Amino acid sequence: MSEKKLEGAGLRGQVAGKTSLSTVGKAGKGLTYRGYPIEVLSEKAKFEEVAYLLMYGALPTNDEYKEYSNKLISMRSLPDSILEVLERIPASAHPMDVMRTGCSMLGNVEPEGEFTNQQESADRILATMASIIVYWYKYSHEGEKVKTSSDYETIGGHFLSLLHGKEPSEDQIRCLDTSLILYAEHGFNASTFTARTCASTLSDIHSCITGAIGTLRGPLHGGANEAAMELIEKFSTIEEAKSAVLKMLENKEKIMGFGHAVYSTEDPRNAIIKKWAEKLSKTNGDETLYLVSEQIEKTMDEEKNMFANTDFFMASAYSYLEIPTKLFTPLFVIGRTSGWAANIFEQRADNRIIRPSEEYIGPDSSEWVDLEDR
């Protein structure tokens, strides 16, 4: 890395505030949400339990879980005004722009109002995200107006059933729910920091989350899972994949889905989603995507000593779930909404407006010249 980059650019390594939500790569802890290791949550918890843990402060009791799960199920339907807006967005739109518009529109028709309503608003946003993206996708691409409600216990089941119009298998639901758990929370990453900055001005939750969606849209953040897919689907053999990646590295191109701003040796989420990608590749019968991904991971390790982050195998896992590539980053949004909301609550509970200083590097003084003389 160049000297210039090391000088704290991108606020790297600087502590910008306190949180009790997650540890990201802390020595001896790895990734934990409120103290629970990601390995345990991804194996034992439902996504909704994790969302509750983050947003309400503790794991729900059995009764609380049932009540919460039913509440989210009852909140999935979209009002006509939002359906109308979604129907006007063309198929060529970027799905993250659809998410951004959907969340923003929800803020118009169901504004948060007092902060005492923050939990209700957050639950409603969380419950509607899958309905928003699938409704737009099915209408704009296939002319179908899908029902935006369903009785599936988890968002994974709701999303897959709306998208495919048939009952997903237990494994498919579990894989998607697991991916949402892995995406749920990750410290002061760029989109969460955006949400916290917006919250620090005492703005409303829809503005905070709309801004966070815009930040997550970029290929250096959430968009990496789609970029990884675009890479792996090009190859039909592992040999092809290896030689293409070697050439890309020679040309100093970045391989999307590798590297991390905080982790230095591994991304703990990778092993979890990689296992799911492998499992689904076996059920699917065509293991090519998985094997190609595994080869690229190996080549990146050998050549650059770089590890796959969670987005890399997410691409093949989602592809085995027959999810169109353009819906990958919106799924990241659905998972991360729980973390964004929890961060917004945390920021509000102990707020000071976020306003860092800057180092001025412009001209010392500039002399005014009238427009007609320029």
Binding site for ligand COA (CB under 6 A): 1-2, 5, 10, 220, 224, 254-261, 304, 309, 311
Least Å distance between CB 221 and ligand COA?
6
- Toward ligand COA, which CB reaches closer, 245 or 327? 245
Catalytic residue (one of 204, 206, 260, 267): 260
Min dist. Cβ of residue 189 to ligand COA (A) = 8
- Using CA atoms, how far apart are residues 73 and 80, in angstroms rounded to an integer? 18
Is 158 part of the annotated catalytic residue set? no
Q: How many CB atoms lie within 10 A of CB 230?
A: 11
User: What is the closest distance, in whole angstroms, from the C-beta atom of residue 238 to ligand COA in the complex?
Assistant: 19
Measured between alpha carbons, how far is 79 from 90 in angstroms, rounded to an integer? 20
Give residues with Cβ within 8 angstroms of 53, minimum separation 6: 33, 34, 36, 41, 45, 59, 60
Sheet holding 30-33, edge to edge: 22-26, 30-33, 36-37
* Catalytic hit among 123, 177, 204, 311: 311
**What's the residue count for the chain?**
374
Strands 30-33 and 36-37: antiparallel
Selected catalytic residue, list 221, 267, 301, 370: 221
Residue sitting closest to ligand COA (CB): 259
* 221 given a catalytic annotation: yes
Shortest Å, Cβ 273 to ligand COA = 12
Between 76 and 336, whose beta carbon lies closer to ligand COA?
Answer: 336
Give, in order, the Cα–Cα distances in Å from 321 to each of 17, 61, 135, 184, 327.
38, 31, 18, 19, 12
Q: Is 206 a catalytic residue?
A: no
Contact 206, 109 (CB under 8 A): no
Q: Which residues are catalytic?
A: 221, 260, 311
